[in-house]
Amino acid sequence: MRTEYDYVIVGAGTAGCVLAHRLSEDGSFSVLLLEHGGDDRNWIIQMPAGLRSAFKPTSKYNYWFKTTPQKFLNNREIDQPRGKALGGSSSINGMTFLRGNPRDYDDWVEVEGCAGWSFADCLPYFKRFERRDGPRNEYRNTTGMVGVKTQQELSTLNNAFLEAGQQAGHALTEDVNGYSQEGVSRFEMSVEGGIRSTSARAYLHSQPKRRNLEIKTGVKVLRVLVEKGRAVGVEFAKGSNRHHVRASREVILSAGAFGTPQLLMLSGVGPEGHLKAHDVPVVFNAPNVGENLQDHLEAHIQVETVKSVSLNKYLKPHLMVWAGMQWFGWKGGVAAVNQCHVGAFLRSTPETTHPDIQFHFFPILFGPNWIPDPDKNGYRLGAGPMRPESRGTVRLASADPNDAPLIDPNYLATDSDWFVMREGLKLGRELLSQPAFKEFHHREDLPGVHVRTDAEWCDFIREDASSAYHPCGTARMGADGDARAVVDLNLKFRGIDALRIVDASVIPAVPSANINACVFMIAEKAADKILDRAPLPPEVVPYHRAN
């Protein structure tokens, strides 16, 4: 292994893999990509239905963090899983592929002051990485790096959801990632050819091996090395051995919304008082590192049916064997797709500018801890606020890099967030009560018909709500003069030269959807900035505006 590279990238998650490919693409620069986890080329990750095996506390592919006790959720510690493998959380997520609403990105400019990050600026980068299994048009692309598909042959329950949504008065959206997000729609998935489209598969494994790109797995980066106000490299551990490696051009942190602020603070870059409390020598006082944590929260309505129409039946041993044979044989069958094929984006009030509630619909009945019961049937609807006002923090638990960080999303800290959460559940119950679901409705399992008043809804939310796993914002980008910003609009760290952050932590305000596609876009856009290339020309297209 060399002792110096042009670029050292910390974290081979969604963004890190994109950058490793783009920065080494033309052979001009040497790139080192460091990842704590292992390889993602295992059937548990590659098989879309293997999600349950990757997505559990005992999985070697999952950090399975917990939040601090959440005071507005009965002091419960909420699960915060993160990917621990090449591909990062794209290797363990639910594969639901959503960009967010175009208004989100225009608000990054108009509300958050992030010039150059409007939807017109971001659209060409969304299109750059996307290989859609569907028509190409001014909104969508079919020739990018990441395979994306829509499940066209819907199950009985998924069809009932789309019909019920229209019966409830909501529009049927043709392409949720196109002109209009609002309404009920088919959701796309980051799956291609029956295999999960991880960022590692798309940007690393699909490419010939490059002499100028070195990838190291199973390494723990301990700190960024800073000399005279410049990031010059990193220190990392491989087993019991410690190593220093230098970066002649830049150190790039892509360790995610939890890992990036933790690594900065372990390096002495963060809130001065907090660092001193943990006896970490202060290298640079950056009070906003670890601030601005945002996440989507979700609560659930679940209905039991007596009809054998849900995915639960596939959990019977002989059908699981058949599903496995289909997938291993020709990457087909029920194991070759994810489980969320339809959903909705709705507004909590007529005055709301654009959808602030998301529904994920699952044609499966779950027991505790999302474990489905093979002997029952049913369906679940997750509902939650898309643009929460609540803000939390990431802090050090100690100066030991092996200790998980303290994650406090501060869920439901505002009256507005409570209102939108309740409205989402009410709208969800209304949708599931439409005639299209009548023949399938046996009983409401969650929350139960006894929950009617706002107070009862609040009690239920305190017991049921969980993360939708979209943490972001902990190293916020912002314009010059923005006191909240950790990085500038080119994602350069403010106050330390040759240090850049490219991952979900730079997001100023969480998009109104799952965020994996957004992170792909950020990384593609950042690659041009790092290489000092002219940005792709903005693409101004019309999109649906409610208000």
How many CB atoms neighbour CB 135 within 10 A?
Answer: 10
Structure-token pair, residue 430: 């209304």
Rg of the chain in Å (alpha carbons): 23
> Is beta strand 443-446 parallel, antiparallel or unpaired with respect to 4-10?
unpaired
CA–CA–CA angle 471, 474, 477 (5° rounding): 115
Structure-block tokens of residue 406:
């303290």
Residues 6+ apart with CB under 8 A from 512: 100, 101, 103, 104, 181, 345, 354, 355, 356, 358, 386, 387
* Three-state DSSP class for residue 25: coil
Closest to 332 in 3D by CA, of 433, 436, 193, 524: 193
Query: How many angstroms separate the CA atoms of 114 and 507, rounded?
Result: 10
Cβ atoms within 10 Å, residue 369? 9
The whole-angstrom separation of Cα 321 and Cα 200 is: 28
HEC sequence for 192-243: ECCEECCHHHHHHHCCCCCCCEEEEECCEEEEEEEECCEEEEEEEEECCEEE
Cis peptide before 447 (omega within 30 of 0): yes
| 251 contacts 231 by C-beta, under 8 angstroms | yes
Please name the amino acid found at residue 159. Answer: N
φ, ψ at 130 (rounded to 5°):
-95, 130
Active-site amino acid positions: 470
